[in-house]
Amino acid sequence: MDPSVLATQAVGGFTVGALVGYAIRKVTKWILIGIGILLLPIVGLWHFGILYVNWDALNQAVGNFINWLGVNISDASSAFASAGALGISGLVGFAFGISGGWLRGTILPLEGEKNFVRRKK
């Protein structure tokens, strides 16, 4: 395989993976905030005895969702791994994007980044 094609696939896979990871990170944040806002009145009504919440069934539903998510993530990772340079670099880029690598200055320190905790000299 031509090295320029391999490099293009690797860079393209990393870039697309990083963008998808970043988008999933932002969307997940807003979904979790929305779920939290929706659950606040339910927990409040449960606390005052107005509503009954079957916590065992809720816990089982969450466990079933986590199991389903784990199976689908392992299937997706094996599909990425079998895709060659594009898939491997896409998976690395996805991990980079979902962790917010460039936002925290882990790769390149941000210019003028402030430290809020400093050691005494």
pLDDT of residue 120: 62
Backbone dihedral angles phi then psi of residue 101, each to the nearest 5 degrees: -55, -45
* Residue whose entry in the numeric block shows the structure tokens 């998976």: 91
Neighbouring residues of 25: CB distance < 8 A, sequence distance ≥ 6: 97, 98, 100
Distance of CA 119 to the CA centre of its chain: 33
Q: Which long-range contacts (CB under 8 A, 24 or more apart) does 41-44 make?
A: none
pTM score above 0.85: no
Say which residue the tokens 């065992």 belong to.
Answer: 56
The per-residue pLDDT string of the chain (121 residues; one tens digit each, 9 = 90 and over) reads 677 777 887 888 888 888 888 888 889 999 999 999 998 998 888 889 898 888 899 899 989 988 887 777 777 667 666 677 777 788 788 888 887 776 555 555 555 555 555 566 6
pLDDT of residue 116: 57
